[in-house]
Amino acid sequence: MATVWIDGEWFDEETARVSVYDHGLLYGDGVFEGIRVYQGKIFRLTEHIDRLFDSAHAIGLTIPLTRDAFARITEEAVRRSGLSDAYIRPLVTRGRGDLGIDPLNCPTPSLIIIVDVIRMWSEERYRQGLRMMTAGTPIPQREALSPRVKSLNYLCHIMAKMEGANAGVDEVLMLDAHGWVAEASGMNLFVVRDGVLRTPPAYAGILRGVTRDVVIDLATAAGVPVREEILNRYDVYTADEAFLTGTAAEIAAIREVDGRSIGTVVPGPITLDLHKRFHALVRSEAAA
């Protein structure tokens, strides 16, 4: 069952509450993570906790727990949920303040950990590959807030996702202000051409995903050349294969972007191999 921990107290989905004066609610002032649980074991917990604390530090938000303590509470939340395969959503908000924007009026950050289940698409969609379109809404300007900060303000990505939903596609491709390919609404993008795996670099205005880094490591170990480089839509349209990665999505093949079919076989051979290697890794770490 869903389990929620808020500032030292345990709740379920029905009883969990936050203050309407919390600046995470009022202004999106906070950070979060998404973490997977496989067979009762949390996948890459250290990497996710590190990114959560780094994101908080980057926005001047001090988490009043050590990383080890936060990890132990997360593990306890999973245990209490009784879920073998689950999704964890840790959040840190600026905390309760007033209706003004001044963060100095929020004396104590609020810590939240949610353990539940998540499902992105149906099994049929994963087998057939995703249909995507380019969203008119660009990613946020990276000079305003670093994309490396996984903040609670996802409004641009939500607006892009709405464009895709209104058009009847599964997901959207988001560009930066210059028209370069960045990411999906909440996932990283990879393309394959002539046996080479390519993905936008971290400096291109993307969130550097934990699953993205795992896939790069798996591809390198498998002897697949990997290049982190600037991409445009032509690179996506003419790819032999393309796929998305993310904690919730895992690895999802793409079959169409803006009405252009991607490759001739979906999932393509490299996508399929990386998918198998990813789940083999997940199983091995869960069994350790």
Distance of CA 218 to the CA centre of its chain: 18
Answer for the pair 162, 186: CB distance below 8 angstroms, yes or no. Answer: no
Do 164 and 132 contact (CB within 8 A), yes or no?
yes
Q: E strands along 19-109, which residues?
A: 30-32, 35-38, 41-42, 86-93
Q: Which residues are catalytic?
A: 150
Q: How far is CA 240 from CA 6, 191, 207, 231, 260, in A?
A: 46, 7, 24, 14, 12
Instruction: Give bridge partners of residue 265 from the DSSP assignment.
Output: none
CA distance 249 to 240: 21
Q: What are phi and psi of 160, to 5 degrees?
A: -65, -40
Distance (Å, whole) CA 170 – CA 242: 14
96-98-102-103 Cα dihedral, nearest 10 degrees: -10
**H or E segment and range at residue 174:** strand 171-175
